[in-house]
Amino acid sequence: MNKIKENIKEESGKAGNAKPQEKRSKRKLGNPIKGLVSGDVLGKGGVTSNLPFLLFVTGLMVVYIGYGYYVDNTVRSIANEERKAEELYSELQSVLEIYDQESLQSEVAEEVKPLGLFETKDPPRVIWVRDDFYTASED
């Protein structure tokens, strides 16, 4: 019965004068912050009518927070790998320096003296052999 009276009042307002409706709509749109602070949005079903959108926004926030953690971990792992690469490069440089020192001709000559090997003073000589030398000696 109450709904019927409300419908009759609305119809009489529509038929008689359109200005009261404009005032109502202006009043509803007037200050959304005031409605939010006073709690009218929660009481009038504003949350339940916008529940899919609120869940979507909540999901986006969760994804954004997760992405932030993912980026932090990725940046941290990149920094660790760069630090390891710098350590390996410095180790490579020190090993190459040791190799260069050990592979000097004078160092090699000193290392092989106990084996009875020595560095020759004469230049090497080329021995020329005929192409059929090895096949002729086999006969």
Question: Taking a C-beta distance cutoff of 8 angstroms, is the pair 53, 46 a contact?
Answer: no
**Residue with the two structure tokens 């999901």:** 59
Give the tens place of pLDDT for each residue, 29-46.
Answer: 557 777 777 777 677 677
Give the tens place of pLDDT for each residue, 99-133.
Answer: 999 889 888 888 899 998 888 888 989 999 888 88
* Domain locations in the chain as residue ranges: 45-100
